[in-house]
């Protein structure tokens, strides 16, 4: 396949239409010598209470590997080659569990019970007010003080012949962090031969409750710790977003992105407009906004695409969720040293968190985030990696 980058970089949309594609790593290696997909289990250290933590490394039949710890269900590394075959790790994180316990901006984590913010750290359900931990300017962020990112999940190898897969389960007690109902969450990470990381989320409850599960990996396609992400090109398939107030709680409006520096329907460098004179960008200190996906949720649809021109690395995101939080690491300030001692500077990564809209429990006009006994919460997100 001959792909001319000059032709290609005008817009990533062409890629969405299949104008240029890369072969999955498994197709580039000779079938007879192709290694089988594997899952390896190692120790990742101990929590302060002495509990042992594991690290699971999943590798497909090619050069694509993802490591996940059962502490917070966190993705600790994603490795794949650039356009010249040079492999790099593209997510921020730490070498052992100690780093995750000490420095915790949710690197790689499974977030629950509620991803992003709930205004005034409370919500009403069936006439009753539930009070949550206010851990962010009077609001509740990412599940409270001890969210799903800080608990030990039970891990099970559910790999098949072709797909390495890890199933993680966590049972959250009725009333945990203020949320009603015993909530059983099962999250499965699996790797396809086409260099896709698939995350399937399931949950059930024994009382009416609300939830919003997501993954909070921080990506830098040039490699974790290799500078900022302002030169990455981003495309997001959304014509509206949910504007926020200065504490980053949605106002309730679904606002058109026409003429806005937040509009990424056409691929643009992240840095091109990030410091534009725009109230929303000021509130977020950059991009930190929920995009209302055009696809509306329900079926697995592509919602974002990112390309890093120097390495040629590329990531596509597909989801069944109605929203996508695009966050540009605005609160990273160079004080965190991660894997291999690398410093994670301001805007040194971006997050694409597929989700229900922030503060939905207090916004009846948003798609509901409620779950009732007898129902199954189910959503899938796929991150697909390639290079060109
Ligand atoms: C939020 C940011 C927050 C970050 C924490 C993102 O999902 O939108 O406001 O600072 O998580 O790491």
Domains of the chain, start order: 5-24+36-387 (2.70.98.10)
d(CA 87, CA 312): 12
pLDDT at 2: 34
Of 352, 289, 358, 356, whose CA–CA distance to 320 is shortest? 356
pLDDT digits (tens, 9 = 90+) for 224-277: 999 999 999 999 999 999 999 999 999 999 999 999 999 999 999 999 999 999
What residue's CA is closest to ligand 1, atom 10? 331
Average pLDDT value for residue range 18-27: 38
Of 145, 152, 102, 142, whose CA–CA distance to 338 is shortest? 102
pLDDT digits (tens, 9 = 90+) for 106-151: 999 999 999 999 999 999 999 999 999 999 999 999 999 999 999 9
Pocket test for ligand 1, best of 108, 331, 332 (most atoms within 8 A of CB): 331
Residue 309's Cβ-count burial label (10 Å; 0-12, 13-18, 19+) is middle
Give residue 116 CA to ligand 1 midpoint distance, Å: 7
pLDDT at 103: 75
pLDDT band at 36; cut points 50, 70, 90: confident
Q: Which residues approach ligand 1 with their CB closer than 6 A?
A: 105-106, 116, 248, 288, 325, 327, 331, 351, 353
Contact (CB, 8 A) for 182 and 194: no
The pTM assigned to this predicted structure is: 0.93
pLDDT exceeds cutoff 50 at 16: no
Contact (CB, 8 A) for 73 and 55: no
For residue 248, give the ligand 1 atom closest to its CA: 9
191: tokens are 């790797």
d(CA 319, CA 302): 6
Q: Which residue has the higher pLDDT, 15 or 21?
A: 15
Give the ranges where 59-155 is alpha helix by DSSP (H): 97-102
pLDDT at 35: 73
pLDDT digits (tens, 9 = 90+) for 277-331: 999 999 999 999 999 999 988 899 999 999 999 999 999 999 999 999 999 999 9
pLDDT at 146: 96
Average pLDDT value for residue range 5-31: 40
Pocket test for ligand 1, best of 105, 351, 358 (most atoms within 8 A of CB): 351
DSSP state of 237: -
pLDDT at 104: 75
Pairing of strands 87-89, 75-81: antiparallel
To the nearest whole number, what is the mean pLDDT of the chain? 92
pLDDT exceeds cutoff 60 at 60: yes
pLDDT exceeds cutoff 70 at 171: yes
pLDDT exceeds cutoff 60 at 335: yes
Contact (CB, 8 A) for 379 and 201: yes
Residues designated as active site: 216, 353
Give residue 237 CA to ligand 1 midpoint distance, Å: 21
Average pLDDT value for residue range 41-59: 98
pLDDT at 12: 52
For residue 111, give the ligand 1 atom closest to its CA: 7
pLDDT exceeds cutoff 60 at 5: no
For residue 116, give the ligand 1 atom closest to its CA: 7
pLDDT at 33: 61
pLDDT at 256: 98
Give residue 106 CA to ligand 1 midpoint distance, Å: 8
DSSP state of 264: -
- Strand extents, DSSP E, 263-349: 268-269, 288-293, 301-307, 313-319, 323-327, 336-337, 343-344
* Percent of the chain surpassing pLDDT 90: 88
pLDDT exceeds cutoff 60 at 25: no
pLDDT band at 174; cut points 50, 70, 90: very high
* SS3 (DSSP) at 84: coil
């Amino acid at each position: 396949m001959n792909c001319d980058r000059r032709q290609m970089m005008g817009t990533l949309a062409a890629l969405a239409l299949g104008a240029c594609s890369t072969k999955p790593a498994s197709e580039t290696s000779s079938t007879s010598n192709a290694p089988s997909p594997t899952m390896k289990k190692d120790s990742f250290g101990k929590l302060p209470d002495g509990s042992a933590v594991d690290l699971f490394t999943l590798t497909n039949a090619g050069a694509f590997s993802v490591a996940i710890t059962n502490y917070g269900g966190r993705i600790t590394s994603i490795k794949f080659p650039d356009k010249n075959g040079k492999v790099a790790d593209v997510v921020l994180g730490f070498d052992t569990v100690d780093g995750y316990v000490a420095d915790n901006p949710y690197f790689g984590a499974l977030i629950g019970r509620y991803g992003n913010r709930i205004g005034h750290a409370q919500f009403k359900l069936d006439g009753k007010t539930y009070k949550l931990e206010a851990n962010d300017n009077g609001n509740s962020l990412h599940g409270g003080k001890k969210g799903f990112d800080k608990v030990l999940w039970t891990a099970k190898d559910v790999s098949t012949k072709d797909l390495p897969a890890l199933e993680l389960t966590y049972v959250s007690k009725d009333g945990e962090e203020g949320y009603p109902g015993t909530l059983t969450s099962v999250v499965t990470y699996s790797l396809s031969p086409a260099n896709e990381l698939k995350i399937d989320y399931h949950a059930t409850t024994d009382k009416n409750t609300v939830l919003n599960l997501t993954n909070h990996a921080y990506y830098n396609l040039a490699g974790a710790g290799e500078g900022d992400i302002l030169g990455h090109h981003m495309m997001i398939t959304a014509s509206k977003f949910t504007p926020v107030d200065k504490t980053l709680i949605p106002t309730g409006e679904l606002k058109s992105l026409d003429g806005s520096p937040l509009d990424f329907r056409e691929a643009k460098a992240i840095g091109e407009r990030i410091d534009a004179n725009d109230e929303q960008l000021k509130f977020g200190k950059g991009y930190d906004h929920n995009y209302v996906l055009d696809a509306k949720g329900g079926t697995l649809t592509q919602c974002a695409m990112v390309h890093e021109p120097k390495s040629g690395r590329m990531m596509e995101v597909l989801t069944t969720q109605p929203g996508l939080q695009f966050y540009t690491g605005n609160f990273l300030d160079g004080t965190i040293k991660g894997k291999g001692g690398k410093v994670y500077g301001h805007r040194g990564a971006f997050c694409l968190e597929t989700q229900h809209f922030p503060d939905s429990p207090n916004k009846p006009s948003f798609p509901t985030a409620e779950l009732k006994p007898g129902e199954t919460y189910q959503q899938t997100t796929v991150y697909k990696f390639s290079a060109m």
